[in-house]
Amino acid sequence: MKNRKKNILVIDDHPMNSDAYINLIKSREEFNETIFHKGIDCQTAFKLIKQAEITATPFDVALIDISIPEYREQKLLSGTDVAILIRNTFPDCIIIMLTMHNESLVLFNAYKQVNPEGFISKNDIDFEMFLEIFDRIVNVENYFSPSINNAIQQLLKKNLSWDEFDTQILLFLEKGIQTKDLKHYINISQSTIEKRKAAIKEKILNQKSSDKELIAKCKLLKLI
């Protein structure tokens, strides 16, 4: 990382976690002068990102928890959406995703949409390990936790033959977004969304079913 004051964004809905990450990072001499920006949900994250954009002070690193409260006004429903916004706003920012999730589709969606430099399962590490992993990532060594890698690989092995658009359709349906509104969240046509959803239902259930039944089956299979 460049030899200047660094800006690090930390978004986690548990402030104690954010404070722990920040204190650990500060213990490294190279980060003594770092400016930290904390948020607890998609709304505060959005405001911090826009402020950084306005003031031309890009984030060098962003630590983003996947499960944070939504900000529907800006179509930000998770930490993954926030990370996509960061990627689009500050392409050089090192993004580290943090999660307690082990559902394959949730993890695969973040992997495909964000392509983070780091993807850490909170179940795989303790705070001491976090600092070692953080050092590796900011020194240009991508890192995925073992359970994250395993979940993504298992989904690929299932060979469901769908892409990130199909994944987004399921995740937005699970969030309660109606099919008729999905076109506002996914960059494909309404007719394409409906065809893809029908194909997903056939792959998962092999029968006609409601959206509710589809989501229930996906949860049972631990896909979401």
Residues 128 and 72 in one domain: yes
Which are the contacts of 74, defined by CB distance < 8 A and separation ≥ 6?
Answer: 42, 43, 46
104 CB-contact burial (10 Å; exposed 0-12 / middle 13-18 / buried 19+): buried
- Give dist(CA 118, CA 40) in Å, integer: 20
Q: Calculate what percentage of the chain has a pLDDT beyond 90.
A: 66
What order of strands is seen across the sheet that includes strand 94-99? 35-39, 7-11, 61-65, 94-99, 118-121, 143-144
Examine the domain organization and report whether 171 and 150 are in the same domain.
no
* pLDDT tens-digit series, residues 137-176: 999 889 999 999 888 877 766 766 778 898 899 999 999 9
Q: With contact defined as beta carbons under 8 Å apart, do 109 and 168 qualify? A: yes
Helices (H), the chain: 15-26, 42-54, 79-89, 104-114, 127-138, 146-158, 164-174, 190-205, 211-220
Please report whether residue 43 resides in a domain: yes
Token representation of residue 184:
């506002």
Same domain membership, residue 147 and residue 88: yes
Residue 168 token pair:
């987004």
- pLDDT at position 32 is 83
pLDDT digits (tens, 9 = 90+) for 92-110: 999 999 999 888 889 988 9
- What single DSSP character describes residue 34? P
Quote the Cα angle for 121-9-69, to 5°. 65
Domain boundary among 156, 185, 201: 156
pTM beyond 0.85, yes or no: no
- The answer, yes or no, to whether residue 7 has pLDDT greater than 90, is yes
- 118-126 average pLDDT score: 92
| Span 9-29, average pLDDT | 94
Whole-angstrom Cα distance, residue 51 to residue 184?
A: 25
The whole domain housing 183 covers 160-220
Residue where one domain finishes, among candidates 102, 127, 156: 156
Task: Specify whether 109 is located in the same domain as 190.
Answer: no
| H or E stretch covering 99 | strand 94-99
CA proximity to 133, closest of 180, 79, 168, 97 = 97
Residue 207 has pLDDT above 70, yes or no: no
Mark whether 54 and 132 lie in a shared domain: yes
Residue 142 counted as domain residue: yes
**Is the same domain home to 130 and 216?**
no
Statement to judge: residues 172 and 146 lie in one domain: no
Alpha carbon 95 to chain centroid distance?
A: 9
Q: What is the mean pLDDT of the chain?
A: 90
pLDDT at residue 205, rounded to an integer: 77
Q: Is 90 exposed, middle or buried (0-12, 13-18, 19+ CB in 10 A)?
A: buried
Winning range, highest mean pLDDT, from 26-35, 185-194, 208-217: 185-194
How many folded domains does the chain comprise?
2
Asked if residue 34 has pLDDT above 90, the reply is yes
112, 139, 156 — which closes off a domain?
156
Q: What is the pLDDT of residue 3?
A: 53
**Any domain includes 2:** no
